[in-house]
Structure 1
């Protein structure tokens, strides 16, 4: 299948929230959606960086309709404030693209006591989506797209110790846990929405190997010589082997806009690493309905936020 951003259907009158829209895949999503006529709410942490990203988009798309909502996914208070701001500005919301993420960071705890990668990649996004779903009920063809990774295949969900408080922390396994959590969350959220007859498509996507800040930002947080070496190695590998972020963003754009995207589906590059969007196959662990349900309930307990489908 050949499909690129020029195949994105017109999105006039539709409103999208894109997290992490100031760089990488999120920036490419925002630019392509703005070019298709959508209003794009850039939900990001760094305001100055977002202003620069918005200017970059407007140079390419002078008619772009862009908004900014401050969002730090590592703080539940920030997530609540962002969700309130979006609901107040946009009573009807069409699509949420949960794109922002961290990869392979050293062990850090958030202000809420969560392991940093789990907080940003999964818990913060789940809390945001839960609070935005009521605004999607009046939309036509509402969708939620959660960005995962093929690194979910190394992940294991530890429901008893999700924050590595007792087990030894391994940054790549922690990342894999969050990406597996993304797919399990998509599965369970779609199941619960379907059970309550809510007409929302929930899908997942992965970018293959795309050239973004993700590969360098996490290793850089290690500091010292090891941080420098890992950052340099990642930057070199990006240059030599990764596809452009514009191409890596296509699977999530497809999941967010293409007609007749199946509920609960998973999308990635056709080769698994690069190429046009195509259906992807989740691991067996990502299809475990029992774990998906338990993780969903744990997520609601940890964040203190119930999804409309849970009520």
Structure 2
């Protein structure tokens, strides 16, 4: 099946080798690659351009998208939907919600939309993008790939200092109070973990709605924990210097040994293969749900709470301003 695969944060540590795999192994697809900064001054965007240049006969398009701006997300979705309608772009075969944000060094940050930045970039903007573009999928089928983490499950990630949990007052997810202590790392990582927990909960709700919709039940959603990536730039971005040192001089050199205590420890390139294969349908075609690496898995007990899933679903619609007129999904409102 031909079509377009949209990848956010396409100049990331995992995304770039995923792009390379899709261009080399799945040439029938058009890749629509978004980055926050298109400028040649962004070294990672330039690396992405170099990857694309090795496949001049393939179709790969670079577009700018800032997930910290919901207006930009809606405008981007409008333009892509228009391109698909006008046949300037093949219908969507997949959306890979790869872009992420965390800040383990600083206090709570709000976007221009007034929402906590980690939660908006990781969950809200991707939810808005997916819901806006469901009507642009190929009738033959397609897949939404969301990114999870073992951090969503209390006690599973060694960086955890404050347990992840969805608060009863969900407004606190988007407008949290100031950190109660000066433990920037602990509270920042909890915000990241909470966003991953929300992503998984929302994925379950999304699949229920897709399955009920006769026009969209050909689309499936998965949330993958791609593993703990020893060479990810995330370990060196908005993190304390100590984690930077650990990444360079302990985690990467000792990765083969660390796998004995953490079987999900691997490189970004290894994870990229799984993500590319999920996006293209080479792996688990038509399946829904939560995966660790490429193995169907159980997510944390809280993520399976259907009442909380529904509340989060409704609040996500509210926060992202998704209404009947801007999504193809029925039975939602």
TM-score (norm 1): 0.84
Instruction: State the superposition RMSD in angstroms.
Output: 2.1
- Residue by residue over 1:115-163, the C-alpha shift from the partner in whole angstroms, topping out at 9 and shown as x without a partner, is 1110110001001111111101x43221111011111113211214113
Residue 203 of structure 1: CA displacement?
Answer: 0.8
State how far apart, in whole Å, the 2-side matches of 1:217 and 1:238 are. Answer: 15
What is the SS of the residue equivalent to 2:92? coil
In 2, Cα distance between equivalents of 1:80 and 1:235 = 38
**Higher-helix-fraction structure:** 1
> What SS is found at the alignment partner of 1:249?
helix
Q: In the superposition, relative to structure 1, how do residues 265 and 76 fare at CA in structure 2: closer, same or farther (>3 Å)?
A: same
State the match for 2:94 in structure 1: 95
CA deviations 1:42-64 (Å, max 9, x no partner) are 11101134651343223543433
SS in 1 for 2:10: coil
Per the TM alignment, residue 234 of structure 1 is displaced from its structure 2 partner at its CA by: 3.4
Partner of 1:217: 237
Aligned to 1:174: 191
Structure 1's unaligned 5+ residue stretches are: 1-10, 220-226, 270-276
2:242 aligns with 229
Give unpaired runs (5+ residues) of structure 2: 86-90, 155-163, 181-186, 256-264
1:117 counterpart residue number = 118
Query: Against the structure 1 CA distance between its residues 65 and 292, is the aligned structure 2 distance closer, same or farther, given a 3 Å change threshold?
Result: same
Q: In structure 2, do the counterparts of structure 1 residues 236 and 139 end up closer, same or farther at CA, with 3 Å as the change threshold? A: farther
The verdict on how the C-alpha distance between 1:237 and 1:132 changes in structure 2, with shifts beyond 3 A counting, is: farther
Does residue 27 (structure 1) correspond to residue 8 (structure 2)? The answer is no
1:264 maps to which residue? 288
Q: Deviations over 1:209-257 (max 9, x none)?
A: 11211222131xxxxxxx3333333343442325221101233223222
Deviation at 1:99, TM superposition (A): 0.7
The Cα offsets for residues 264-299 of structure 1, whole Å up to 9 and x where unpaired, read as 322223xxxxxxx22222111111111111101111
TM-score, normalised by the number of residues in structure 2 = 0.79
Which string of whole-angstrom CA distances, capped at 9 and with x for unpartnered residues, describes residues 18-37 of structure 1?
00101211112222112211
Q: Map 1:268-283 onto structure 2 (within 5 A).
A: 268-269=292-293, 277-283=294-300
Q: Which has the larger radius of gyration?
A: 2
Alignment of 1:72-87 (within 5 A): 72-87=66-81
Equivalent of 1:165 in 176, 187, 203: 176
Structure 1 distance, partners of 2:100, 2:74, is 18
Q: Does residue 251 in structure 1 map to residue 282 in structure 2?
A: no
Residue 44 of structure 2 corresponds to residue 55 of structure 1 = no
Number of corresponding residues: 285
SS at match of 1:232: helix
- CA distance in structure 2 between the partners assigned to 1:53 and 1:65 by the alignment: 17
Q: Is the 8 A contact 1:42 1:67 kept in 2?
A: yes
CA distance in 2, matches of 1:262, 1:284: 24
Contact 2:10 2:48 in 1 (8 A): no
> In structure 1, the residue corresponding to 2:196 is in which secondary structure?
helix
